[in-house]
Amino acid sequence: MSDISGTDWSELQVDLCVKAYFDCFVMELAGQKYKKSEVYRRLSSNSGRTPSAIEFKFQNISAVLEAIGLDWIRGLAPARNYQELLAKKVALYIDKIVALPPVSRHKIDEDGLAEPAAFFLQAPPELRLSAPKVPEFIASLVKKFDPVERDNRNRVLGDAGEQFVLEHEKRFLNHIGRGDLAKNVKWISKEEGDGAGYDILSFSESGERKFVEVKTTVGGNRTPFFISRNELSFYKQNQKEYSLVRLFDFRIEPKGFELRGRLEDYVKLSAESYRAEFQ
């Protein structure tokens, strides 16, 4: 097929790219090896697009997934200028990715992180004064595949994230010579239920209590998350001892950051649910 660079992508070309992307993504999540360059060459011969153009289209697909709070293929950083047709085609494959196990293959154990503190090296994203404008078709897609509601309902993902942080807290305290404190770290939400307002009881190096709330997503670091009324109330009453740990990219390569002090310095808190009572 001859080179057709400079022309709009046809529906067939977009279909070919989206299908190939998700085939690669499923292989990556399953730990199977493949070569992106070979995929680009194969698609190039079938579509008439250059390998570099196909790679950029793959990055467009990553951007759509990022917008709806899902993970994407590593090494294909999101490129956000994409057509509505692409977003619609990606939407047809989202259920396939959401249905995959959300639990990371990475564990923190005796053979895990060589340096326990390295897990939290990332700084929280800066608070934006105003939300960036997004095309209407993307806003509709985000609303349809609401990442906040999806992550909040995913108990397997939530439990896996909490256990990840629980083991990190224990290892960190042992690492700094506070094994006495590590023995008292507790998974409160598992042992006592969700009513406490936080997930993990841990300690600072000096022995002060630390109430840790864990929020986990397979999406990126700016994926929004849900805070219940009870969690918010507990935070306000225990702000000095409160820590919110945000885990992201959890399915592929877990990363995280910690929010201490005023949550409002990092995130915008919005009320999105209402209590309906019969009069």
Residue 257's pLDDT is what?
94
Q: Which residues pair with 165 in a beta bridge?
A: none
Tell me which residue of 56, 42, 45, 38 sits closest to 2, measured CA to CA.
45
pTM: 0.83
Which phi-psi region, left, alpha or beta, contains residue 216 (left: φ > 0; alpha: ψ -120 to 50)?
beta
Residue 4's pLDDT is what?
57
Handedness of CA 80, 62, 222, 232 (dihedral sign): positive
Residue 117's pLDDT is what?
47
Round to whole Å and give the CA distance between 119 and 249. 13
Which residues are CB-contacts of 28 (< 8 A; sequence separation ≥ 6)? 34, 73, 74, 252
Full pLDDT tens readout for the chain, 279 residues: 444 555 789 999 999 999 999 999 989 888 889 999 999 999 999 999 999 999 999 999 999 999 988 999 989 999 988 889 999 999 998 877 777 777 765 655 544 444 544 555 588 888 776 666 778 888 888 888 888 888 888 898 999 999 999 999 999 999 899 999 999 999 999 999 889 999 999 999 999 999 999 999 999 999 999 999 999 999 999 999 999 999 999 988 889 999 998 998 999 888 766 667 787
Tell me which residue of 15, 12, 7, 21 sits closest to 50, measured CA to CA.
7
Tell me which residue of 246, 240, 210, 241 sits closest to 227, measured CA to CA.
246
Handedness of CA 131, 249, 159, 214 (dihedral sign): negative
